[in-house]
Chains A and B, each alone.
Chain A
């Protein structure tokens, strides 16, 4: 069964450093998303991406964040200058064009900022 994959599974970085989190969505999906889950809190929407542009973003997704689909398979989230409060589990999701609108999530990347 097709699934969303994410790399790395765990990333440790120092405050102020740039990180890139990578995702490979399900191959025939056209809508892509990033969410995050701070430890002990609920899952929060960051951004959605369709047709090579951001279709929706939350207040969390400020200028420090960017997304890119550099080729036909990868979808990346970049944080330019990480802060301690960026420590969280980051989930990538994708969905197809069907009317169900269900999103399929990857296993997540745990980002630890020290």
Chain B
């Protein structure tokens, strides 16, 4: 079965510092990969997606993610953290031929002023 691992349930970075949130997937066939963000008491907002086109994917709010097949990873980065980035971030995978998204356990990002 498809699975997603997010290393680090909590990540804290200083405002202006690099944000790196890790996601690894298990699949023998490159799947479709997504990052979603959840602000407090809100739903899930799509940040970006990988669908086998470019391996470096740019999303909203300055985030980007790089698909690395050799490492089965899809880490999320942002060069300079902003206070408004504080939220929970979920990596999700969709297998070819399936409809469901399988989510990771999430990473709560805290920004230190």
Contacts and interface: CB of A to CB of B under 8 A. Distances in A.
A101 B94 contact: yes
A108 interface: yes
14 contacts: A33-B99, A35-B101, A42-B103, A42-B105, A42-B106, A48-B99, A58-B100, A100-B49, A101-B51, A102-B46, A105-B36, A105-B44, A106-B43, A107-B43
Contacts of A58: 100
A32 B6 CA distance: 26
Interface range, A side: 20 to 34
Contacts of B44: 43, 91, 93, 105
A100 B49 CA distance: 8
A92 B43 CA distance: 9
A106 B43 CA distance: 6
B90 A42 contact: yes
Contacts of A4: 43
Interface centre among A4, A56, A103, A106 (most CB of B within 10 A): A103
